[in-house]
Amino acid sequence: MVIQRKRVKSSRIASIGYDYPRRMLIVEFKRGALYRYDGIPGALYEDLMESKSKGAYFERRVRQDYTTKKVVLPATLGLDGCRARGCKEKGAYTTERGWRCTQHAEEILEL
């Protein structure tokens, strides 16, 4: 199941997604990396989305208190485009399964 991420206004964070049943937070950084945090309370996610400075809130309440379970994507953005079937996305990252756009790279979250 793909966790839909919302674009956010932030100097560091590009998008944020959250899955309530699994208490899983996904943060995409503008420098091109996708991180997953487990055990995040729903209220914390809501506060993050409502905070004026999401980068600062994330730094203070998430990054320092929760460990990253998995770095989903390395910080390299390729020019080859996504190789997932039927996908025409141009920007893609190198992943364990080859070139994938951010949406398709999330398949790796199911590992």
Residue 50 or 110 having the CB closest to Zn ion: 110
| CB 20 to Zn ion: min, Å | 25
Q: Determine contact, residues 94/80, Cβ cutoff 8 Å.
A: no
Which segment (8-16, 41-49, 73-81, 87-95) binds Zn ion by CB under 5 A? 87-95
Options 13, 27, 73, 82; binder of Zn ion; rule CB under 5 A? 82
DSSP H or E stretch at residue 71: strand 68-71
Q: Is 13 helix (H, G, I), strand (E, B) or coil?
A: strand
Residue 54 or 104 having the CB closest to Zn ion: 104
Instruction: List Cβ neighbours of 82 (8 Å cut-off, separation of 6 or more).
Output: 88, 89, 90, 92, 99, 100, 101, 104
The site for Zn ion (CB under 5 A) is made up of 82, 84, 87, 89, 101, 104
